[in-house]
């Protein structure tokens, strides 16, 4: 478990564009414990987490404002240097063990530290089940504890963070489209990117450039934000060529790059096209 360093107020703004500075916080939730490399429907709980963390760091999120809830609270010691936290970041990234109490607690922690309205980025990786009409009642598994978090519960946990201008939620589970209706209310300032429709399962990527197993959505999504794949090859995810990738452009990239399920976009307030996770002022 890492020790979080805290910056003085305003430090995040140093060196950023003169357009302004909006604090950016992220909560990354990976709902299993990885115990071995290169195993399908297992190892990607760590690989996907590290790639998300890397994409956020490259997008201007600072270590002290990225909160990781994973496994037993300890980083996985992978043999792949490109997915090793010590090699990539020089320190462990896990803050809390993954369990239902900590899923709720981490948002309460962020609420206490997000003193200025900013941008909240939430990411969930795990198994999911659907029930009810069109299988849109989503239940998310915490595989290492046997607990479950409903879509309504996750919404209530995220809502504990009250000082925000915008939020986005990226979710990779089977039936993940079931989360869209929880954030569909009038005036809701949240964009949801989901790996599948309510009725669909989600799968591993049929191809990765380095041959290392990853979930399909969790491979295409951060690659789109980074504008390159994990091997460093440039991608055309910046569709309008302005140098920044919006959530709308990420969705468009996912839709074109994914073949095993149908990525979904929830955007009730039309924010996806004007929300750029990598910009200093999203």
The burial class, CB within 10 Å (0-12 / 13-18 / 19+), for 159 is middle
Kindly list the distances between the CA atom of residue 123 and the CA atoms of 80, 90, 173, 255, in Å, as whole numbers in the listed order.
23, 22, 11, 18
Confirm if 235 and 224 have CB atoms less than 8 A apart.
yes
Domain positions in the chain are 20-274
Beta bridge partners of 168: 121, 191
Question: How far is residue 105's CA from residue 140's CA, in Å, rounded to a whole number?
Answer: 17
Stretch 141-163: mean pLDDT:
97
The tens digit of pLDDT for each residue in 118-143 reads: 999 999 999 999 999 999 999 999 99
Kindly list the distances between the CA atom of residue 76 and the CA atoms of 94, 175, 223, in Å, as whole numbers in the listed order.
9, 27, 22
pLDDT-derived band at 279 (thresholds 50, 70, 90) equals: confident
For the CA atoms of 219, 167, 148, 132, what is the dihedral angle to 10 degrees? -90
Q: What is the pLDDT of residue 8?
A: 32
Which CATH number is 20-274 given? 3.40.50.1460
Q: In terms of DSSP bridges, do strands 128-131 and 264-266 run parallel, antiparallel, or are they unpaired?
A: unpaired
Within 8 A by CB and 6+ apart from 180, the residues are 192, 194, 264, 266
Confirm if 176 and 262 have CB atoms less than 8 A apart.
no
Confirm if 197 and 174 have CB atoms less than 8 A apart.
no
Confirm if 167 and 191 have CB atoms less than 8 A apart.
yes
For the CA atoms of 174, 188, 52, 147, what is the dihedral angle to 10 degrees? -50
| Count of residues in the chain | 282
The residue with greater pLDDT, 56 or 3, is 56
Which residue do the tokens 């090699």 mark? 87
Which residue do the tokens 């198994």 mark? 127
pTM over 0.85: yes
* Helix, strand, coil distribution of the chain in percent, nearest 5: 30, 20, 50
Within 8 A by CB and 6+ apart from 129, the residues are 138, 139, 141, 174, 175
Q: What is the pLDDT of residue 1?
A: 58
Beta bridge partners of 167: 120, 190
Q: What is the pLDDT of residue 15?
A: 33
Which residue do the tokens 């462990």 mark? 92
The tens digit of pLDDT for each residue in 198-216 reads: 999 999 999 999 999 999 9
Which residue do the tokens 């504008």 mark? 227
Confirm if 98 and 149 have CB atoms less than 8 A apart.
no
Max Cα distance, the chain (Å)? 50
């Amino acid at each position: 478990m890492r020790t979080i360093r805290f910056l003085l107020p305003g430090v995040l703004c140093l060196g950023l564009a003169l357009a302004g500075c909006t604090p950016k916080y992220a909560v990354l939730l990976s709902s299993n414990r990885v115990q071995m490399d290169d195993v399908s429907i297992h190892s990607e709980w760590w690989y996907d987490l590290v790639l998300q963390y890397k994409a956020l760091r490259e997008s201007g999120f600072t270590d002290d404002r990225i909160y990781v809830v994973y496994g037993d609270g300890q980083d996985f010691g992978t043999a792949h240097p490109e997915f090793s936290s010590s090699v990539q970041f020089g320190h462990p990234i896990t803050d809390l063990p993954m369990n239902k109490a900590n899923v709720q607690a981490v948002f309460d922690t962020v609420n206490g530290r997000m003193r200025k309205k900013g941008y909240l980025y939430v990411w969930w990786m795990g198994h999911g089940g659907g029930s009810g009409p069109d299988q849109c009642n989503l239940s998310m598994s915490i595989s290492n504890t046997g607990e479950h978090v409903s879509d309504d519960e996750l919404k209530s946990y995220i809502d504990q963070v009250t000082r925000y201008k915008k939020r986005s939620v990226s979710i990779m589970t089977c039936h993940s489209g079931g989360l869209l209706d929880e954030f569909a209310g009038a005036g809701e300032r949240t964009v949801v990117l989901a790996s599948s429709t309510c009725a669909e399962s989600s799968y591993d990527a049929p191809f990765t450039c380095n041959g290392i197993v990853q979930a399909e959505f969790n491979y295409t999504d951060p690659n789109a934000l980074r504008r390159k794949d994990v091997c460093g090859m440039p991608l055309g995810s910046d569709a309008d060529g302005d140098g920044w990738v919006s959530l709308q452009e990420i969705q468009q990239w996912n839709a074109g790059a994914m073949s095993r399920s149908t990525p979904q976009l929830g955007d009730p307030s039309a924010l996806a096209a004007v929300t750029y996770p990598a910009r200093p002022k999203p």
